[in-house]
Chains A and B, each alone.
Chain A
Amino acid sequence: MMTTTTVEQPVGFIRRALSNRWIALAFLALYIVIVYAALFGLERASPIFPILSTLAFAPFALTPFVTMALSIDWRFKGLAILLLLFVLMPILGMKDTSFLELAIQICIFAGLALGLNIVVGFAGLLDLGYIAFFAVGAYLWAMFTSPVETYIKVSNALVPASSFYLFMFIGVIIAAIGGILLGLPVLRLRGDYLAIVTLGFGEMIRILAQNSDTVGNPPINFTNGSQGLDGVARPPIPQFLRDLVPTVENALKLDINNAQTVTQQLLFYFIAILVIVIIILVARRLENSPIGRAWTAIREDEVAAIAMGVPLVRMKLLAFAMGASFAGAIGVLYASKQTFVSPESFSLSQSISILAMVIVGGIGSIQGVLLGACVVTLLNLLVLKNLSTQISNWRNIDAIVPHWLIIIVAVIIGLFLLWQAWKLVRSYVNSTRFQTSGIANIIGAVVLAMIAIAAIVFAFTSGEFHIRDWPTQLEPARYERLVFGILLIIMMIFRPAGLLPEGRRRLELQAAKTEQKIEGEV
């Protein structure tokens, strides 16, 4: 896409400069300082807080990836990331807990994406029902600690909140068993059939959760059905954390008026970081082990793997079990953070979201999957939500979009569309034979041109736009799927290997692309 040489020179210069370790280190330090200062300086009361916090937090959340990408000494990289995770983020969180909330959610989805990566990325088994294991972990903790009148509560089997860590472990085991149970019937299935059966399993778990409030006769309530389980217990806050907050508050002269919220969120944050680190370590160990290589063999060519003596059944079941176990642990964490669990959070679209995170990030690559989870979560939870809040803020102060701004935006969009239409026409004119695709080009060009002209004309004839006239059914927070869908389509067309692809994958897709170019269209 970047074709003009006038842009290449400064970019090339920057790239060369950054390959020098000290310049790169200075750049990183400057980057962190600027972004952090921007975040710290944000004022919640300001009406444009939502947009500002989006613009400032997104680069901050991507700092670990920036760090890893720069060519500096690994010791500095480690130091920077430790500083970021254990000093900078918590302090920022103390100032404004909504950032901690975001960080925790990113960690949760990153954990899920890493788990799915093992099944889909390492072993090549397309699992569309992955969210079921997440549900198992979440419901496990919720059923045993919720004060709702379920069978467990009635039989006095509730557990104290301090058994949270034990239950994370139990969640791992139970989810792993679930993974094996899922894997057993689907061993013989390939590709699309595997996808539909795993999808069916995911849906079945959700429906079971939804309907297990009147099981049998007389009816026994297990999961409280679609009403969900609320009041789920949170792990007790250790004393050192409780003491930590006032200490930091005094040392940095912060003004914290909700110490209880802060301490609670900090606890979840640290637990989440710990869990993610453990998951990353386990995943890396698996990747570089004989098990990981066996998975690669199965993924690439199952028949050849069998011929080479890879124990297919055991390896497949192991993949399902390991992937599921990550989800189980994260499920327990999620349940206690939300204090509310209902079947709706475990629908098919969640499974697909996680799959999308894996694909967008780079299937099979741990770093890629982490980046994918980060990007997608930021998109859903930061960008779109803040856009919604921003619009309602603007509604409040009766903000008006001036006419000239509308014209400029419409002209830019219109020119872009006309340029695309021109490209279509040119490719039709240049093609050497008449084919149906040529007519499609012309139709496409005409349609684009019409849209462009309509947009520009509309912009000129409309007046200024009152934000309060924005229809309420058009809440941006509700349109995550639209943005998501466009993101997926664009990623697949332009970068099908993902943002940070694994080496083998990238080669594979590059080969496919060149092959396609050589053949031309079939």
Chain B
Amino acid sequence: MKTKRFILMVLLTMVAIAMNAAVLRAQDAKVIKIASQSPLSGGQALSGTSMRNAIELAIADLKQPLVDLGFDVQYVPFDDQATPDVGVSNAQNMVNDPAILVVIGHWNSGVAIPSSEVYNTYDLAMISPANTNPRVTSRGLSVVNRVCGRDDNQGPTGAKFLAGLGTVKSVYVLHDKTPYGQGIATFFQTEAEAQGIAVLGFEGTEEKSNFDGIIQPILATAPDAIYFGGIYDQTAVFLSQARAAGYTGIFMGPDGTDASDFAALAGEAAVGTYYTSAAGPLSVFPDAAKFVEDYNTAYGENPQPYGPESYDATAVALHAIQVAIELNGGELPSRAQVAAAVRGTADFQGLTGPISFDAYGDRATANYYVSQVKSGDPALWSENELLDTVTVASPFTALLESAMGQ
């Protein structure tokens, strides 16, 4: 047995050498890799795959200027499985490849926060299309940026909307115990109380299949509305069980609800759900029509929410790399240079509008959308009714504006 193993090893290594020798060596100095991290498997794979596809499309569309400068642009998607540990592991792997200059990701704030610590240690720029938790940028890391809004604005938007309905006097708040879910639930709760809505309960749960034990106390307190800060693979299942148990009140969620799988998982129970989102419905972006078409041709379906944002994040990244190359005299720039160029992005015209990053990496002004689900058919998710659009400046930008106004 051991002898056979030796022989096998020797043969394998000889094969390894032979294969290696046969490979072209011309590529090493001029390869630029764009990496991404999003959940490509598991319950949130729909959104993660849509992110990945949008990024791939953006690279194919926009890499020409870099190719003209003599560089080869490659795309390396990673699956972070919506798990912080895997995200950090992938990040540790990523930093060992010197050709990777920028990371587009993540989908979950709870994965982005620890992974960005790794990126920061190695000066690797990160642009997030979908991470809305404030802590992503509030740590002041120079490499972290995002093209979407923040939960400390999104949560209160939801609370104000509910208060504006007039019929909601009490709400029961749930969250999924991740930084994202717990964060936005807390922001929602604070604003709801400020608006005079009684918060009957604030509970966190990681249960994914059987919510009976949680639904019982909620029904016993009989709230007018339930707000669940979480992602659709959990909140949709909760909603369908709550409705089956006889809950007839309002259900509201944050942008974690914003994906067609919410309707797929909850079916008819999803109709009437309100949700806020930092990603606009496709109809709101006039420039995105071509993107939607191309996406359909390449992948056979509509992009999920945050698709246009992922496209924009990639566009920003490619543009920043180009700037960094030119500043570096046509040579491959260092990661620090790319990170600086990314942070310096100002008035870059993307599908979702003009993009500028403030000193913390937040998008200078961002929109928040309130919508209502109209149909239980997942294919009609983009037809959900848009009820309200709110534009809010990032905290730093607001601070600047008020200081300059004085």
Contacts and interface: CB of A to CB of B under 8 A. Distances in A.
Whether the complex brings A and B within 8 Å at their CB atoms is answered: yes
Given A96-B96, A258-B98, A340 B88 contact: yes
B206 A396 contact: no
Residue in B96, B99, B122 with the greatest tally of chain A CB atoms within 10 Å: B96
Interface stretch (B74-82, B346-354, B358-366, B374-382): B74-82
A396 B35 CA distance: 12
B52 A472 contact: yes
The dominant DSSP class at the B interface is: helix
A159 interface: no
B99 A340 contact: no
A31 B177 CA distance: 51
Contacts of B15: 55
Contacts of A441: none
A453 B218 CA distance: 56
Nearest to A392: B77
Given A344-B83, A477-B79, A66 B179 contact: no
B20 A472 contact: no
B17 A66 contact: no
Contact of A228 (B23, B74, B84, B99): B84
B89 to A, nearest CB: 8
B20 A38 contact: yes
B113 interface: yes
A257 B19 CA distance: 27
A15 interface: yes
Contact of B84 (A15, A101, A257, A344): A344
A427 interface: no
Interface stretch (A39-47, A271-279, A285-293, A504-512): A39-47
Interface in A1-25: 2, 11, 14-15, 18
Interface stretch (B2-10, B209-217, B259-267, B286-294): B2-10
Nearest to B179: A227
Interface majority SS (helix, strand, loop, mixed), chain A? helix
A47 to B, nearest CB: 8
A429 interface: no
Contacts of A41: 17, 20-21
Interface in A379-421: 385, 388-389, 392-393, 396
Contacts of A389: 76
Contact of A34 (B2, B14, B88, B178): B14
Interface string B190-219: 000000000000001010000000000000
Contacts of B114: 228, 230, 339-340, 342
Interface string A29-59: 0010011011001111110100110011011
A325 interface: no
B406 interface: no
Contacts of B27: 43, 45-46
A514 to B, nearest CB: 19
Given A34-B14, A45-B28, A473 B41 contact: yes
A465 to B, nearest CB: 18
B62 interface: no
Given A14-B7, A18-B3, A37 B206 contact: no
Contacts of B117: 230-231, 339-340
Given A261-B95, A472-B52, A477-B79, A230 B41 contact: no
Nearest to A39: B16
Given A52-B16, A344-B84, A345-B85, A226 B23 contact: no
A31 B27 CA distance: 29
A46 B95 CA distance: 17
Contacts of B81: 478
Nearest to B95: A261
B79 A52 contact: no
Contacts of A344: 83-85
B9 A257 contact: no
A1 to B, nearest CB: 10
Contacts of B31: 45
B16 A66 contact: no
B182 interface: yes
A51 to B, nearest CB: 8
Contacts of A225: 177, 204
Nearest to B3: A15
Residue from the set A35, A226, A261 with the largest chain B CB neighbour count within 10 Å:
A226
Contacts of A97: 96
B178 A43 contact: no
Given A15-B3, A52-B16, A101 B206 contact: no
A474 B52 CA distance: 15
Given A227-B179, A230-B114, A69 B2 contact: yes
Contacts of B98: 44, 257-258
Contact of A55 (B3, B4, B13, B77): B13
Interface in A213-269: 225-228, 230-231, 257-258, 260-261
B202 to A, nearest CB: 10
Nearest to B30: A45
Contacts of A342: 84-85, 114
A69 B4 CA distance: 13
A43 B28 contact: yes
Contact of A472 (B49, B122, B179): B49
A38 B75 contact: no
A74 to B, nearest CB: 18
A210 interface: yes
Given A257-B98, A385-B93, A52 B41 contact: no
Contacts of A260: 122
B9 A31 contact: yes
Contacts of A203: none
Contact of A44 (B7, B40, B99): B99
Contacts of B177: 210, 225-227
Given A43-B25, A261-B96, A342-B84, A34 B13 contact: yes
A258 B15 CA distance: 30
A475 interface: yes
A116 B101 CA distance: 41
Contacts of A62: 9
Nearest to B79: A475
Given A43-B23, A338-B88, A14 B28 contact: no
14 contacts: A14-B3, A42-B20, A43-B27, A48-B23, A55-B13, A98-B93, A225-B204, A227-B113, A227-B182, A230-B113, A339-B121, A344-B83, A472-B41, A478-B41
- Closest 8 pairs (CB-CB, A-B): A340-B114, A98-B96, A230-B114, A55-B16, A59-B9, A45-B28, A56-B16, A45-B27
